[in-house]
Structure 1
Amino acid sequence: MIVPHNSTGQPWRRPMPARDPNEVHRQASFLELFFDLCFVIAVAQAASSLHHALAEEHFAAGILSYLTVFFAIWWAWMNFTWFASSYDNDDVPYRVAAMVQIVGALILAAGVPRAFEIHQFDVVFLGYAVMRVGLVALWLRAAMGDTARRITALRYAGGISAAMIGWAVMLFSGEWPLWGWWLMAAVEMTVPIWAERGGNTPWHPHHIAERYGLFTIIVLGESVLATTLAVQSALGDQGASPALLRIIGGGLLIVFSLWWLYFAKPAQRFLTSNRLAFLWGYGHYFIFASVAAVGAGLAVNVDHVTGHSALSNTAAGAAVTVPVAVYLFVLWMLHIRPHRTGLASALLFLATVAVILVATFSPWPIPIAGLATAALVAISVALSAHLQR
């Protein structure tokens, strides 16, 4: 039986105090894992839409739509993740508010294809509105329970509500200009920065690092699933060809290497301030988006070698090599460089990025990218072992 944290006979009457940022053995809850699982449905929808857009040679529109839709998914996930790190007391009202946000996430996921294909964000907006009802309620409850940070909690509640009004104005005006969309995205990202100036929320470094790591694993899993489904379809049509086997082998090396490199260094060691946390947390947009895009790109390459897409070999290869290169570069900037790993590590990562990008123009871009990332893992492990002697 799971006993809610801080539970009593009438948990709904308890205030919501802040959690201890130095709490030992702080781990992600079962509710948070369930929350992530529901969000990955939206990620899968976005990646699938990107796959079809690229396979049909709608490069600019497909990539732009993917980046905007993925921002909506990532930002909604991140808002709850950081709140939960500071105030998760796991009582009845908290669980209900979290489940309201899960309902909103499922509505958002249902609206992803519509937003992606025809730029209609009405269903996505509805999902956001439902999620924000649950999140604002939690921030208002935190304002009542954590008097020391009441201003911060009220700023979050007010800023989130004001941003939703801005989205509503855009929706009901009948137009979604791209500049307006990114303007509102900038407003959304400004809310936490402004709110935290009223007093830092007590987020837990180890818990935040674990939450981001778990979501990275889930998104990697979605990439594996997308590739598996594409390969399954190809095998049913034509059987295993050498070209298909090269994609499978190279794709597995890439996915395994991306996982290995992400968890090579513990992020909680350098999450020591809001400034660093904002940079690290916001930068993960590119990590999550590129990981999901890798799965879409591998599926595109399966379509290419089985004759279901008229893409050139270079364009198909770029669908994988570009997101892998983005992932490695951002990972080094956010996750590796803060550990002061030295010039050798920096040159190794940058050289690998260059090799992968050049591989785009080769006959076998996926196997070369897979071997390059695997070599990066092997050399990084050897360097780490040498430095520990």
Structure 2
Amino acid sequence: MTRYLPVVRLFRTREAGADRVAFIELFFDLVFVFAVTQLSHHVIEHLTPVGVLEGVIMLIAVWWVWMYTTWVTNWMNPEKGPVRWMLIAMMLAGLVLSTAIPYAFDDRALPFAIAYVVMQLGRTVFVIVSYRLVGRHDDALNLTRIAIWFVYSAPFWIAGAVIGGDLQLVLWAIALAIELFAPLVRYWVPVLGNSAIESWAVAGGHMAERSGLFMIVALGESIIVTGTVFSRSEFTPSTVLAFLAAFVGTILFWLLYFSHGAEHGHRFISASEQSGRIARLTYTYLHMLLVGGVVLVAVGDELVLAHPDDPLDAPTLAVVVAAPALYLLGNLLFKRSIGRPWLRSHLLGMAALSALWLAAPVIPGLTPLGITWIVNGIVALVVVIDEFVWPHDESEVADQEAADSVVI
């Protein structure tokens, strides 16, 4: 048994304080700061339905790589040498993937696809081998099922990259559909069956903190875009107001998530006996909506800063209004999944944004700058309602049993 001891130490214990986020995990996130920047620029440069769909495919792929790695570092100790070097290797592959994003549907499709497949399969095989070395064969079997599902999707990634054209988008969408469906059926494979939900238990505090940190990474992209575009813009009253509008919008997004969501989610999953179920729905799936909303708002900020006083066109209107609507939807579902009631403020905010989208084309003289401040006013109203008008009484929050019924 002593010969297994060094390998045993590759895994986190469940002692108090053992679930803290390690510095190497924050270092790993730097690659994804770059990836989110690349994604927002891709959407800006390809602001068409197809271009946005390409961005969605790549955003989900980036999130999927990051989230699976977060699950692994929840189980394994990233401060141990082999795990640390695995993360560094993932960073290198992630850098290849990130640099390929602007041309992933052109001449760098194959580097993107290969980097993605290598990251997903390579990390999973590493964990399988680590589990087997310590005799945890049931855990190794769970990861084997996951690896098999990645093997199922890999041909679609590679074939899409090789074939290119319209089929690339279809094949990559099929690959992601396979991977998104896998957790819902608990990675069922013939002969091996599916994984027990109990085997997905996680350290809730670590999962919640890592997801919150990714939200900060995504919000940081808005700051980067705002600062970069403003520094290159002519200094006029309109650009100053557009700069302030972008900054205010980012702060409002931060308040929506971190004031009454992040910490409650941290406590909720930490206290739950079904942490795997909550981590699957709340942090693996629903956070995709939140990240998508943040990336889209960075696109809107750049569009408005570049042309604050131009006539309002349909693409700019769609992005500026859809970004907070998607973010509010993500927050609504996230907070509901951690036991909060259906928040009327969020529902009213989404209704107001929908009405604005319909009414904006007939409002005379409305500019991108004007629509941005109106949107900020709607989101600010949601924040104020949450904070002062309809204060959240913890005694009204659904208890753990009610919340478990919400989780898939």
Instruction: Decide: shared fold, TM above 0.5.
Output: yes
Equivalent in the alignment of 2:279? 277
State the shift of 1:335 in Å: 2.3
Q: Which has the higher contact order (CA 8 A, sep 6+)?
A: 1
Residue of 303, 306, 322 corresponding to 2:306:
303
Maintained 8 Å contact 2:12/2:19:
no
Equivalent in the alignment of 1:365? 371
1:80 pairs with 2:46: no
Equivalent in the alignment of 2:297? 294
The equivalences for 1:177-256 within 5 A come to 177-193=168-184, 194-195=186-187, 197-199=194-196, 200-235=199-234, 239-241=235-237, 243-256=238-251
Gap change, CA 1:178 and 1:71, over 3 Å in 2: same
Maintained 8 Å contact 1:12/1:93:
no
Q: Partner amino acid for 1:355?
A: A
Considering only aligned residues, what root-mean-square deviation do their CA atoms show, in Å? Answer: 2.8
More displaced 10-residue stretch of structure 1: 173-182 or 326-335: 173-182
Equivalent in the alignment of 1:110? 99
The equivalences for 1:1-389 within 5 A come to 13-15=6-8, 18-20=11-13, 23-24=16-17, 26-54=19-47, 59-116=48-105, 118=106, 121-132=109-120, 134-144=122-132, 145=134, 146-173=136-163, 176-193=167-184, 194-195=186-187, 197-199=194-196, 200-235=199-234, 239-241=235-237, 243-263=238-258, 264-265=260-261, 266-271=264-269, 272=272, 273=274, 274-280=276-282, 281-305=284-308, 312-336=312-336, 338-341=338-341, 346-360=343-357, 361=360, 363=366, 364-383=370-389, 385=391, 387=393
Gap change, CA 1:18 and 1:11, over 3 Å in 2: closer
Equivalent in the alignment of 1:4? none
Structure 1: distance between partners of 2:128 and 2:147: 6
Structure 2: distance between partners of 1:160 and 1:172: 18
State the shift of 1:201 in Å: 2.8
Maintained 8 Å contact 1:21/1:203:
no
Structure 2: distance between partners of 1:218 and 1:174: 31
More displaced 10-residue stretch of structure 1: 148-157 or 60-69: 148-157
Gap change, CA 1:171 and 1:28, over 3 Å in 2: same
Aligned to 1:299, the other structure's residue is in SS state: helix
Segments of 5+ residues of structure 2 without an aligned counterpart are 189-193, 396-408
Structure 2: distance between partners of 1:386 and 1:277: 23
Q: Partner amino acid for 1:371?
A: G
Structure 2: distance between partners of 1:171 and 1:249: 41
Structure 1: distance between partners of 2:115 and 2:316: 33
Deviation per CA, 1:227-282: give whole Å up to 9, x if none: 221112113xxx222x3233223222221111111112221344343333322221
State the shift of 1:165 in Å: 3.9
Aligned to 1:207, the other structure's residue is in SS state: helix
Q: Partner amino acid for 1:124?
A: F
Segments of 5+ residues of structure 1 without an aligned counterpart are 1-7
Aligned to 1:305, the other structure's residue is in SS state: coil
Maintained 8 Å contact 1:11/1:91:
no
More displaced 10-residue stretch of structure 1: 10-19 or 175-184: 10-19
State the shift of 1:111 in Å: 0.6
Structure 1: distance between partners of 2:384 and 2:117: 46
Maintained 8 Å contact 1:102/1:131:
no
Q: Partner amino acid for 2:77?
A: D
More displaced 10-residue stretch of structure 1: 144-153 or 68-77: 144-153
Q: Partner amino acid for 1:155?
A: R
Q: Partner amino acid for 2:112?
A: V
Maintained 8 Å contact 1:160/1:191:
no
Gap change, CA 1:386 and 1:177, over 3 Å in 2: closer
Q: Partner amino acid for 2:254?
A: W
State the shift of 1:79 in Å: 1.2
Q: TM-score, normalization: structure 2?
A: 0.81
Structure 2: distance between partners of 1:289 and 1:63: 11
Equivalent in the alignment of 1:3? none
Q: TM-score, normalization: structure 1?
A: 0.84
